[in-house]
Structure 1
């Protein structure tokens, strides 16, 4: 593999690293620094989990070059990062770890985004099955 190809592969992982940093930054904010969205607070925050981890799943899959056989690995990385992020969040003042955030919101966000991207990719590449 030539150096240009390696550079391209490394470049493909930058969005995932950026998204991991964004999620980590949000998770490391003490509860007193977080905005309150009144009646929509839970909806906004749990929706944020789904969107954030959906984007992370897509970024992981992009890192793998959109190869269909790697979509499940991208999803597993979403779950592993979500577990580690929730654990680290348990050390932040006023915050706690929630396995439900991982099992429901983070997991589903990643899964739905990857499924929608797979659906779109298969429509663009007829006969692509893996």
Structure 2
């Protein structure tokens, strides 16, 4: 049962990434600008005289979205593979391979979306996110195993 739930989470996350990548540039920009606005408004409440270059900050929000989306994708995929009986370094290797291939396919997909482009830099950011997600999963699993043996 947990294996089915784990793979369902992976597929739903992949669908969300695809959906967000399929949005034309204008819609995607509106979404990231809205998120940027919320963050800036919140920060300005804490630091009233903060000075932001909104263009640069919006760019950072967009690139961080890549990183965190694939960090979560890495965690979900590694969990699904482990629940399917793939363990050890094999599970991490397969997870990283799946994440990289999906990141590449996502960037190729964006070549066909109005106003969007496919960028190698985004694949590298996605890969970094997946690696961090894999590392976090591994570290937490190791700590939990150590705790349960005590």
TM-score, length-normalised on structure 1?
Answer: 0.84
Which blocks of at least 5 consecutive residues in structure 2 are unaligned? 37-53
Deviation at 1:72, TM superposition (A): 1.9
Task: Report the number of matched residues.
Answer: 119
> Which residue of the partner structure matches residue 31 of structure 1?
25
Distance 2:128 2:69 in 1: 11
Please list the CA deviations of residues 33-68 of structure 1 after superposition, one character each: whole Å capped at 9, or x if unmatched.
122343311110100000000111111111112633
Structure with greater Cα Rg: 2
Q: Structure 1 or 2: larger helix share?
A: 2
Please list the CA deviations of residues 4-35 of structure 1 after superposition, one character each: whole Å capped at 9, or x if unmatched.
xxx54333201110110110011000011122
Distance 1:82 1:101 in 2: 8
DSSP-derived class of the 2:115 partner: coil
- 1:71 pairs with 2:92: yes
- 1:86 pairs with 2:107: yes
TM-score, length-normalised on structure 2?
Answer: 0.74
